[in-house]
Structure 1
Amino acid sequence: MIECLPLLSTDDVLRDIVNDVMEIRIREHAVMQRIAELDRRGAASELGYKNLAYVLRDAVRWDRTIAKRRIDHARLLASEVTPTGSELPPELPVTASAAAEGALSIEHVAAVAEAMKTLPADAEASVVDFAREHEPSSVRSFGKELAYRLYQDDPEPRDADPAPQVNDLTLHWRGDLLKVSGTLDKVTGAKFEALIDPLAKPRPTSEEGPDPRSRTERQGDAFAELVDLMLRADQMPEHGGEPVTLTLTMRYEDLAGQVGSATLDTRERIPADQIRQLACSAGIIPLVLGTQSQPLDVGRKARTFTAGIRRLLVIRDRGCAFPGCDRHPKHCDAHHIKHWADGGATSAENGVLLCRHHHTLIHHSGWTVKMANGIPVFSPPKWLDPDRRPRRNLINAF
């Protein structure tokens, strides 16, 4: 009998999908256990095949690369039996338990496994907890940030001097067109990206519709405009309410001792010995949380966030504050948590950085945001979590 879906609410349909996907993941885990059993038995040799990937290719019509990946993941999730008959736990026991519950997909398992290559075993629980609420790509980002957090105080390796970073640029005329290609070091590349980004924004939607240009076309036009702007350098555009600026975040003790690294808006890390070089050509704006030297609260006088408030939001949120999002600050809007029209102040305490997608989501969906202990936290709609347990962006928490 086919269920009459039109009689169900949208929330009920979505909740059913969530439950069905969990059941599918439980079955996928059972399949992985059987693959691990075939691997333990040496089934490929028994059946006359070169290896198990070829067996699975013929049995279930997987591409051999997919079959090999499934075998690798099955080995991570399955317990191992020693020649004496003792059973050893899986290589990733916490991941295996979550996958058996249906909380993780095969893609999640792959992301956790990738993250754990650079993390100690006791970090697995943290990565899996994050994976229970986020998509695989966010799990990879979380793993990278967690690894940096764990090892940031380790001494820098001194085995060999790093290769010098070289800037190169090639100009080649092809008829009436000049082909430009090159490579920039990390610092120069970050400065160039900060110049290009405000010029490469899509044009506002008009009667002709949205901007039809692709991202590469917009960046090409931005580069052409940048050339024109450099001919009249006193007319450089503003971005985020202030002249083009690079924001670097680092611990005060590292800055004073010229050790460690600073983090750009893009999450690229700049070694301390390059900060002085960057300061030669970029303005450095001191910012101490809670200082009276910045206009952190403009009350009811202004609806739009000032450059000073936005700088504080960048320091606090480090990009889109929505759980699992890794969009950089320059791609984010400042959002009033309590709407300005409803009496909300234009202040850091009532502001949060959101990328365009999540800004729209907060305004038009069941997701809500509020401040908790000075940190923005988000509550999902009931179809996603009936208890609406608060979540925060752990990728940017570092």
Structure 2
Amino acid sequence: MAPTSSLVQDERLSCLFEELAELTGRRNAIDGRIVQIFAEIDRDELWAAAGARSVAHLVAWKAGVSPSRAETLAAVAHRAEQFPRCVAGLREGRLSLDQVGAIAERAADGSDAHLAELAASATVGQLRTALKLQPEPEPEPAPDREPDGESEPVPAPDPGPQPSITTTSDEQYTSWLIRLPHVEAAAFEAALQSHRDALIADWKQQAHIISAPMPSTADAFLRLVNAGRDAEATARPHGQRTTVVMHVDVKDRIASLHLGPLLTDGDRRYLSCDATCEVWFERDGRTIGAGRSTRTVNRRLRRALEHRDRTCVVPGCGATRGLHAHHLQHWEDGGLTELANLALVCPYHHRAHHRGLITISGPADALAVTDHSGRPLSSASLARPPTQPPPEVPPCPGPTGERAQWWWYQPFEPPSTR
């Protein structure tokens, strides 16, 4: 009875493995098509028009997957053109999304053929180990000297650590170059690191809700600025110096920062909505008055707003930190600073609304959020019962599962540029 029972188990297991190979191949091919769709969205930057903060956010939102899986899909979509053979293996059902995702996240340019061959028999863990063995990219070679033989100019001696701040501006951004002595720089770095640690702690708490990149040093710098701005006036008696001043021409609706560049219409509305900003109205170049002091939301109204909305009101977002109180009817158009005319939005979607990427209209009890084409945004994923047959692909047996002998493995080495 024992041999017969073992034979039945082997036959049953073979049938189950055969079905599993077929289903796995179909799943891989479907993932490959999903990657193609998001690669097109990434290439043409259509994710912003859909009201998403990034491609990974759009994947997690519309595909209804976890943030970690969304990051993998987004990574493969972003580098699909650099790894055509690996992506083709995914689309044909031979490779899994996790295999190609490990390659897309860490592999060097030009290693497509090498890694496509390795992935045909390697597990995800073995692929990650192989990617760790690849050599570090060589630094860019120094430019050659001019052929005329003239010597390079000798740089002027360093005058020492003199504090200085230099700013440059273009149409969209302002760049800051900050120079500090070592002691002051150490204190500045410690403050930035403290604020970044706090942002990362908040980010980890909501990582399962939204897909967002890890907070950067720039995010910590902005948090440091906001923390100083929100401190009590007694702690900074000259706090008015940190107020952003905006000048608005009421006739032509043209705004500029005080002693600074002109603002776009979106930035003008954004600053006059919930930012800590002092607005001065002008006509024909002459100041005619200051903005209404009731533009900003007081603490009591803010608590009521947070109790009502809890998160960013844009569907699919779910952000809970650093939210802005947005005027549904713009403040500069006569909108009142009251609960029925306010909604909580995250900084990204607040700017996206004022720049025309999405539309948030009220009143608050009948809120409507649409993308730039007027399509309503919904927090539900796009998943629905399939109406087409699954793709016809050969069964996927999966990796061989052999123990890797790393002593003979030759990692990919990019060709030397020298």
Bigger-Rg structure (1/2)? 2
Superposed pair shares fold, TM > 0.5 = no
TM-score, normalising length: structure 2 = 0.30
Structure 1 or 2: larger helix share? Answer: 1
The higher relative CO (CA closer than 8 Å, separation ≥ 6) is in 2
